[in-house]
Every structure is written in structure tokens, then in C-alpha cells.
Chain A
Amino acid sequence: MNERQLFVRDALVLFGLAGWALALPAYASEFVVSLALTCLMYVALSSSWALFCGTTRYLSLATSAFFGIGAYAGALALERLPWLAAIALGAGLATVVAVVMGAAVLHLRGTYFAVLTFGMTELIRHAITYFEKSVTGTVGRVLMVVPERDTIYLTVLALAVLAVATSIVVRRTRFGLALQGIGADEQRAQTLGVNTRLIKTAGFALTAAFAGAVGAAMSVRWTYIDPPTVFNPFIGFQTVLIALIGGALTLWGPLIAAIVFSVLAETLRLQAPQVYLMALGLLLILSVLYLPGGLASIRADTAKGWWRDIRALYEEKRYEWSGEKARDKRRERERRLA
């Protein structure tokens, strides 16, 4: 398939999925709609995360910071502003924070970057907790004005579609190519005339804007927010896990993994929350070890490759354990001596 056909295919798949998700609230039960909402939230979060962090290999753990900032901004603004303006405010504030944060940390790479973004997320969470406790004198906030369920669902759906559509489009622009260049070799990209600093800040801000908007849209669903819920580092971790398990470099990987995870979470979480989280950890380890390209990289011969590996290991162990290896070594030595 050439570039153009691929583009048309991706756009058609997205169109079909979006139409199906749009029709869902009309016939499905309350439980299925709430499952779909969680699913769409993680589609939006992890697709936008993979857009910047996947392609450039800057492992950001700050998603929950942007999510929380968006949630607080949206929740507080909703009493005075209309719904869409509150969402936009959430996205805008998260973008501003991302630009400031990016200016401070985007010159660091690898583990330093990951650890620093995590530290800053925790700093923001503790700062807001402290501010709420000592200045406004509350622990959390109860939201009085709450839009209808369908409004929230449609907004999150629109955000998820927008996130995937942005990924489809960005891959084909100069901006997307610059991001890929930074991921492959940052110094070379710089030498070839890419303004890496600007590109990285813009990409980071784009990711943050999506996380902020999703935070603002989801906060009203909980009707009660406090820093430990909306700045929960687990939101950030799970976004990263979904993107990595699905395949951070692929377009559909995060979407596939988000669906798998939401279904797994909803079915296991109520009966055995610990088992769910243990399964999550185990899946993560296994996917990093045996499927580094993610779920989206599974092809027909992936299983064949594993089978070959297992066979090779078995042959080697049999050679060793049957004593054949030791015998061969001894013969070799005797021949050399003779």
C-alpha cells in the first residue's frame, strides 16, 4: 500500500469506530457505557502520549499532572463558564504548565527525564494538597453543576477521535517527521536543521493539552474531586503501560491496548483488585521482554518466532543435560593432547 492508501485506510477505520462508539449509548446498558467511557479516556490519553513520547523516546510520567490540572481547572470553572469553555480552559492551563515544565526538563534525556517528570508531578500534587488544606481550608471539592451523562460521553469520544486523528495527520507533516528524527538521533536531527528545542516543547505541550482536556471532561463524572484521585500517579502509569504494551510507535497499538485493558480492568477489578494489578505488572514485564514492539506488532510469524526460540533452547539444554556437551569437550581436549 502506498502512503495515500494507508491514509485513507486509517481514516476509514477511525470513522467506522467513531460511528460505532457514537451509537453505543442509544442501545447499550449503563455498565457498558461507563466501560466505554473509561476506554475512550485511555484511548485519548495514550494515543496523545504515544504521539510525542513514543516517537521521540522521551518517557514522560507527567500525564497525571496534566490530567489533574485539567480536572481542577475544569471543575472550578464550570460554575461560571459554559461546558466547552471549561474544557478549553483545562487544556489551556495544562499546556501552559507543560511549556514551563518542558523548558526546565526537556534538555535531559532518558531516565533523568522520566524521573524528573515523575518528581514534578508529585510536587504539583503535594503543592495543591497543601494549598487546599491551608489556604482554602478544604480537602476536596464537591461539584454542584454537572452536565448530563451523554454530554460527557460525547466530549470524551470527540477528544479520543481528535487524538487519533491528530496522530494520523501529524505522522505525515514536517512536524511529525521532526519528532521521528529526534527519536532516531537527536544530534543528527539538530545538525540537519531541526529546531529540536521548539519541536520538543510543542510536542510536549500537545500531549499535555489532550491530557488536560480529558481531565476536565472526566472530573465532572466523579462529582467529588481531591488531589489523591485526580493526580493519582496510577493514571500516568497506566497511560504509559497501555501505550507501551500496545506499541508506542504504532498508530493503532494504544487503541487496541486501551480496549483490552479497560475490559480486563472492569471484569477483574471488582472481584479481585490485587489480581488485576498483579496481572497488569506481569503483562508489562512479559510484553517488554518478549514483545518489545507492542501488541500491534504481532504478526502471523510472531508465534512462530517464539516457537523457534523455545525449540532452540530445548535443543541446547538437551545437548547439555544428556552429557553430550561434556563428552564433546573431553574428546576435543584429548584430540588436542594427542
Chain B
Amino acid sequence: MSAGAWLELIASGLITGGIYALVALGLNLQYGLMRILNIAHGEFLMVGAYLTWMAQTSFGLHPLAMVPVSFALLMALGLVVHRLCFKRLAATSPDLDVFEARGLMVAFGLMFLVQNAVSWIWGGDLRGYDFATAPVHIGNAQFAGNKLIVFALALLFALALIVLLRQTLYGKGVRALMQSPVGAQLVGIDTERLHPLMFGLGLGLSGVAGCLLSMAYTISPAMGEPYTVTALIVITLGGFGSMSGALAGGLLLGVIEALGMHFSNPSLKALLSYSVFIAVLLLRPKGLFAK
């Protein structure tokens, strides 16, 4: 294999990995902070993708302009969902274990609700639109322009979130809550405000990921579930609650999948990711990068 082909292979892995990382970051925020394992996360990604597609085909809006819009809409939706479901759940659950199990069930319910609402409204067909499809040459390798834009933006958002959590006072509060919920409350961190905000932020990020995905791939109501599963794999790779772990895990999984698919067989892709997932959960349940 030539150097150009290697570059193309690794880069295509990194491009899908960037999306994986972005989806996984949102899920990780929800699980690490609130112990809500949001199985419906991929469905909200799909909602973001459909909103972008609709804005593009019906109103002629530029897809890039939809990135902040879809973030804001999904974040608002997240605040509503948190207010209606998880706030009451947290108040009525006797302990964290019970809350986690019930939260998982509520998320299953949301998954059915959102997925079928979308397929009811927009139908079950594959949808898509053309955006920046011209190939870009880098060295002797070539890439589709839209995929490069998607990768750059996904990486930008992922890094922005990590910097936000590292540098700002809010981020400090979030990290403190992840380490010790009781201790954080004792020093005056307002969980009542941070929990809905971070849940909304997680959904907002999945909205951005959906918006980006719709630029490069075709979309359908069933597209969410594989991304949820991949996001789960990524956060187990990176360790529950670790943000930079999720970013590294996402990129790594993208590359592993691209290499595995190239050297074996595309129909082995799902088999490969599930094997990685189960192996990591069984052998290193704290994540690949845990000390």
C-alpha cells in the first residue's frame, strides 16, 4: 500500500472518529455527572439531522447556519426533558442504583417516543442533500470537502467543551460534582441549576453532531441507534466521566474500524466494534487510559 492510501485510510477513520467523539462527549457528560445513561442520545442526534435537512431543503438555509440553531433547539428540548422526567425521578428515587436503573428505563421510553415521532412526521425514507461535495487534494490523497468540514467542526466543538470544563468556574463546578456530589454541594455548588444545564448541553452537542452528519451522509429515522451504541463503546474505551478519554477513544475507535474494515470485510464492522466493546468492559472496565 502506498503512503497516500495509508493517509486516506487513517484520515477517513479519524473523520468518523471525530463524530463518534462529539456524540460520546454529550453522553459522557450526562452519565458522568448525573448517572443518566441516555440510550435515547442517538435519537436526538437524528432529530438534529432532520431539522437541518428540513431547513436546507424547505427554507434553503445554509447547513452551517443550522449548527448553532440546532444546538439551541436541542438544548431547549433537553431542558424540557430534564424538567419533565429526570427531575422528578431524582426526587423520588431512594438511592443512586435505583435512579440509574429507572433513568435507563425512562431513556428507553424516550428512544421509542422520539424515533417513532420522527418517522411518523417525516416518513421512513433515506434523505439527504448535496453540500460541498467537491474533492479536496492533500498531497497525493483526496477527501470529500464536506467530510473535512465535518471533521474540523466536530473536533472544534469537542475541544471547546473540554476547554470549557477545564478553564471556567462552571466547568470547575461540573468536575467537582463528578468527583463527589455531596462534597460539591457542601461547598455551595448549585446542582439544581447545573444538572439541567449540563443535560441540555449534552443534547445540544448531539444536535450539533446530527447537523454535521447530515452534511456528509444520508439520514433516516433509524440512524440514531448505531451512534448511541458507538458512543457507549467510546465512553467505555475512554472511561466513564473522562472527557479527554472520550475524545481519544472516539478517534481511536474510528481508526480501528477503518483499518479493520479495510483488512478484513465491511460486514465485520459491527462484529468488530462489539468485540472491542465487550473486551474493554470485561478486561478494563475503568477505561483504556485509567491508571
Chain A residues near B (Cβ < 8 Å): 57, 59, 104-105, 108-112, 114-116, 119-120, 122-123, 126-127, 129-130, 133-134, 237, 240-241, 244, 272-275, 277-278, 280-285, 288-289, 292
* A281-B92 contact given A111-B104, A119-B277, A288-B105, CB 8 Å threshold: no
* A59-B104 contact given A112-B281, A115-B37, CB 8 Å threshold: yes
Chain B residues positioned under 8 Å from A274 (CB to CB)? 116-117, 119-120
| Number of A-B pairs, beta carbon distance below 8 Å | 110
Residue from B89, B101, B108, B265 in contact with A241 in the complex, judged by beta carbons closer than 8 Å: B108
> Besides the contacts A110-B97, A277-B116, what 10 more A-B pairs have beta carbons closer than 8 Å?
A116-B278, A116-B281, A122-B229, A126-B270, A126-B271, A277-B112, A278-B113, A278-B116, A285-B85, A288-B102
Which residues, 93 to 116 on B, are CB-close (under 8 Å) to A?
97, 100-102, 104-106, 108-116
User: What string of 1s and 0s marks CB contacts (under 8 Å) between B250-282 and chain A?
Assistant: 000000000000000101101100110110011
> What separation, in Å, do the CA atoms of A104 and B281 have in the docked complex?
10
- A interface secondary structure, majority: helix
Chain A residues positioned under 8 Å from B108 (CB to CB)? 237, 241, 281, 284
* A126-B274 contact given A57-B101, A133-B267, A285-B113, CB 8 Å threshold: yes
Chain B residues near A (Cβ < 8 Å): 35, 37, 85, 88-89, 92, 97, 100-102, 104-106, 108-117, 119-120, 229, 232, 236, 265, 267-268, 270-271, 274-275, 277-278, 281-282, 285
> What separation, in Å, do the CA atoms of A130 and B269 have in the docked complex?
10
Residue from B100, B102, B119, B278 in contact with A119 in the complex, judged by beta carbons closer than 8 Å: B278
Q: Would B109 and A285 count as touching, CB distance under 8 A?
A: yes
Q: From B272, which residue of chain A is reached at the shortest CB distance?
A: A126
Q: Which interface residue of A119, A134, A240 has the most chain B CB atoms within 10 A?
A: A119
B41 CB to nearest chain A CB (Å) = 13
> What separation, in Å, do the CA atoms of A84 and B267 have in the docked complex?
36
Chain B residues positioned under 8 Å from A110 (CB to CB)? 97, 100-101
Q: Would B285 and A112 count as touching, CB distance under 8 A?
A: yes
Chain B residues positioned under 8 Å from A120 (CB to CB)? 274, 278
A152 CB to nearest chain B CB (Å) = 29
> What separation, in Å, do the CA atoms of A129 and B110 have in the docked complex?
29
Chain A residues positioned under 8 Å from B100 (CB to CB)? 110-111
Q: Would B89 and A288 count as touching, CB distance under 8 A?
A: yes
What are some 7 contacts across the A-B interface (CB < 8 A)?
Answer: A57-B101, A111-B101, A119-B278, A129-B267, A133-B267, A281-B114, A284-B105
* A284-B270 contact given A115-B232, A116-B278, CB 8 Å threshold: no
A253 CB to nearest chain B CB (Å) = 15
> What separation, in Å, do the CA atoms of A218 and B127 have in the docked complex?
36
> What separation, in Å, do the CA atoms of A108 and B280 have in the docked complex?
13
Q: Would B232 and A108 count as touching, CB distance under 8 A?
A: no
Q: Would A282 and B281 count as touching, CB distance under 8 A?
A: no
Q: Would A281 and B102 count as touching, CB distance under 8 A?
A: no
> What separation, in Å, do the CA atoms of A244 and B120 have in the docked complex?
26
> What separation, in Å, do the CA atoms of A112 and B119 have in the docked complex?
30
B153 CB to nearest chain A CB (Å) = 29
Q: Would A123 and B111 count as touching, CB distance under 8 A?
A: no
* A289-B85 contact given A110-B101, A127-B271, A274-B119, CB 8 Å threshold: yes
